[in-house]
A and B are shown apart, each in its own frame.
Chain A
């Protein structure tokens, strides 16, 4: 479920970072506006709770596999969406830094997939609609179950979109969707059942906690339109600014391009390509020393045009392999040398 740095392009990673950073700033502002100091230690400790509970596995009946608790929905129910989003972000930051779950560049994607969808979509639009003004145990159970499932489905879809737009993995959209959604439907049902059971457990033991959480939130009227508009703008800006990073792989940006006005971005893009091609010519120094023994495959000329940097042709490939091996050797020696001191 966690996206990895290795699978995303800088444009996608940067866009999601911008979106997530904006959401964090906005959520922090909202929590501050609630003027409830009590919430700050509560957020920290509940985050630690989610973290600790995720380490306990339970067996899934009749399958032999095991699962763990997902956090977004429980946190939203106990803290409200703004605070819950901040806590989810914290949990994911620690997971990224200490367990390398996902990665730093992919952190934006991960926070968005696992935080935004449950907190800002599934919670206000599904859970709260189901429980209504007069919650009962049954309503709380079904609300938490359905919202958790849908939240995870959206998150999984987010992973698919981010991977496909990054173009690092070759998995086509259709196949990937068919792979991810059913798997996460199964996971979501289990997670949802557990979430719902834990929430109803609290509801039975101390109903005042849930109703207090309800009361302190004027968040029922989360203005989703505003949030989404903000996200689209952030995405567009970040997509435009960061597009040059992905200059060798423009296809991955079509989506970001689509959101920006388009023209000038495309032009500047072309000029970057040209300058890169120029750089590439410069770097291909000593062209006569290419690896002559290998038959150059005719097909490759096309690839060369399509991906101007770095060029993939048979001569350079073999030179690259040999040179890469040498470089690695040198680096290992540097490391050993430094270590001995």
Chain B
């Protein structure tokens, strides 16, 4: 990344930034907390239970979703993950959810409840609910990779019945992202240093640039295949199966799952709020 910093043009295309993201999340995954050491499969399952339950709420739900923040908060804290970084990534991808959700206040103008004399449209409530769901599900996915690493997630996938050919290909793909992103980055940088055009490439340049990259990629695939053949490739990459389901994994999955199910059926904030409002009135 240092050579990039010396060269401002380089930042015009965002290639470096994106591969930096993957690098960085892999670095986070190499941490050594209790959560990092858990078996990847346990984390994959728990993340799924979490997402499915969060998404299963009614579209006007706000308060019942709030206790679910306990999961990302505990994981970020115990796993020593950088909160600011995750929030920034969340912001970067938020436009689509906002774009689709923002129509709700116009489409659903039924007044759901009043605060003082102001009526609150159902659309605003459901829009806010979309934002909450979005925050919860996106952070859960980012946390999963930051705590586990992609290779480990892939390796655990075959245990859930994902075809081995697919997993092998996924591992190779992940390995070569770094190589080809670097290559694309070099080409784009060379182009921007030689032209006065900052940012996006001209269409014609782009086509010949990506065409050449594609040809190089095909040649590279051939070389890789030959090298793999020399080493006795039989269609699969053999990885060590470090399966270890101990009591920690079981506790992690069951503990969180029960909590999520409990939170699905018992609206804690509402109970809390009722005690408070009741107490003061």
Binding site for B on A (CB under 8 A): 2, 4-10, 13-14, 24-25, 28-29, 31-32, 37-38, 40-49, 51-53, 55-61, 66, 69, 74, 78, 86-87, 89-91, 93-94, 96-101, 103-105, 163, 167-172, 175, 193-194, 197-198, 201-202, 205-206, 209, 245-246, 248-249, 279, 283, 285-286, 288-295, 297, 299-300, 303, 307, 309-310, 312-314, 316-328, 331-332, 334-339
Contacts and interface: CB of A to CB of B under 8 A. Distances in A.
B10 interface: no
Contacts of A202: 211, 214-215
19 contacts: A4-B97, A7-B130, A9-B56, A40-B172, A45-B172, A46-B218, A55-B14, A94-B174, A169-B100, A170-B107, A175-B103, A197-B211, A248-B56, A316-B274, A323-B273, A323-B276, A324-B62, A326-B269, A327-B69
B188 A56 contact: yes
Given A97-B153, A320-B273, A331-B70, A286 B278 contact: yes
Q: Is the interface of A mostly helix, strand, loop or mixed?
A: helix
B172 A44 contact: yes
Interface stretch (B1-9, B221-229, B239-247, B252-260): B221-229
B190 interface: no
A98 B103 contact: no
Contact of B199 (A51, A66, A290, A323): A66
A6 to B, nearest CB: 4
A317 B120 CA distance: 11
A258 to B, nearest CB: 21
Nearest to B233: A37
Interface of B: 13-15, 18-19, 21-22, 25, 47-48, 51-52, 54-64, 66-67, 69-70, 73-74, 76-78, 80, 89-90, 92-93, 96-97, 100-101, 103-104, 106-108, 110-115, 120, 123, 125-126, 130-131, 133-134, 137-138, 140-142, 144-145, 150, 153, 162-163, 165-166, 168-177, 179-181, 183-185, 188, 199-203, 205-211, 213-215, 217-218, 220-222, 224-225, 228-229, 233-235, 265-279, 281
Nearest to B96: A4
A59 B268 CA distance: 51
Contact of A40 (B110, B168, B174): B168
A288 B278 contact: yes
Contact of A7 (B21, B101, B233): B101
Given A45-B221, A56-B15, A98-B21, A5 B169 contact: no
A66 B73 contact: no
Contacts of B173: 43-45, 47-48, 51, 87, 90-91, 94
